[in-house]
């Protein structure tokens, strides 16, 4: 298998799989940790509550496959709640530990942001050097659905930002580990371009490397 879409009981699996199918990429939904370990790339989707998703992931055994992929610098993509799970902690309905690949905390949008959840199309400001965004120009519009966000990721790891009641992190990047708070599979041509770039990374068609430290 080329790309493993992790089925741990808490993800929007079919829409992600169909998006990869649409662009002609080999991707398979799996709940088998050994299959996931053998994949060239990993996608961690997620919907719902942070603590529930973390519990299911840990119980599934797929957390070990995910950590193995990241340690091996395999292309890995967390989507929406999947991105939030890559952080150190979340304050959703309490304080819960995440996977801690990024030293940041997930917090609720402040009341001053307006209507919560933040739902619908919004533009992002991507960094030009991020492999996930190769070929994209300007400030593309992407699709968000979330009540919690990450606002304290160091610029060292911030791949894109967006604004809704202030600036927040829309995407993260560390080596071949990526996370998007938005749903690329629901984000039209811009989102499909990102998934094409991710698939190209899993095939070795784009260079894979450790990201240099950003100038903050």
What's the token pair of residue 5? Answer: 């879409």
Alpha-carbon distance of 106 to 97, in angstroms, equals 10
The Cβ of residue 58 has, within 10 Å, a number of other Cβ atoms equal to: 13
Which of 92, 118, 146, 185 is an active site residue?
185
Which of 10, 92, 118, 183 is an active site residue?
183
Catalytic status, residue 185 = yes
Catalytic status, residue 10 = no
Alpha-carbon distance of 145 to 175, in angstroms, equals 26
- Please work out, in degrees rounded to the nearest 5, the angle formed at the alpha carbon of residue 216 by the alpha carbons of 159 and 45: 20
Q: Which long-range contacts (CB under 8 A, 24 or more apart) does 95-100 make?
A: 96/50, 96/51, 96/54, 97/54, 98/50, 98/54, 99/54, 99/63, 99/66, 99/67
Catalytic status, residue 155 = no
Which of 10, 80, 118, 146 is an active site residue?
80
Residue whose pair of structure tokens reads 């529930």 in the numeric block: 52
The DSSP H or E segment spanning 168 is strand 167-174
Active site amino acids: 80, 183, 185
């Amino acid at each position: 298998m080329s790309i493993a879409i992790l089925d741990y009981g808490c993800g929007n699996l079919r829409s992600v799989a169909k998006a990869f199918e649409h662009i002609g990429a080999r991707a398979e939904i799996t709940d088998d940790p050994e299959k996931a370990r053998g994949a060239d790339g990993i996608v961690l989707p997620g919907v719902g509550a942070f603590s529930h998703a973390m519990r299911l992931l840990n119980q599934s055994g797929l957390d070990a496959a995910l950590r193995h992929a990241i340690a091996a610098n395999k292309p890995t993509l967390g989507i929406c709640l999947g991105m939030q799970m890559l952080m150190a902690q979340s304050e959703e309905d309490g304080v819960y530990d995440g996977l801690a690949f990024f030293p940041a905390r997930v917090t609720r949008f402040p009341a001053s942001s307006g209507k919560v959840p933040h739902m619908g199309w919004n533009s992002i400001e991507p960094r030009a050097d991020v492999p996930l965004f190769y070929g994209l120009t300007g400030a593309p519009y992407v699709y968000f659905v979330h009540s919690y966000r990450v606002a304290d990721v160091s610029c060292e790891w911030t791949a894109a930002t967006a604004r809704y009641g202030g600036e927040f992190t829309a995407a993260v990047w560390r080596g071949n580990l990526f996370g998007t708070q938005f749903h690329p599979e629901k984000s039209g041509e811009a989102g499909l371009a990102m998934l094409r770039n991710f698939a190209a990374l899993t095939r070795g068609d784009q260079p894979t490397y450790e990201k240099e430290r950003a100038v903050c």
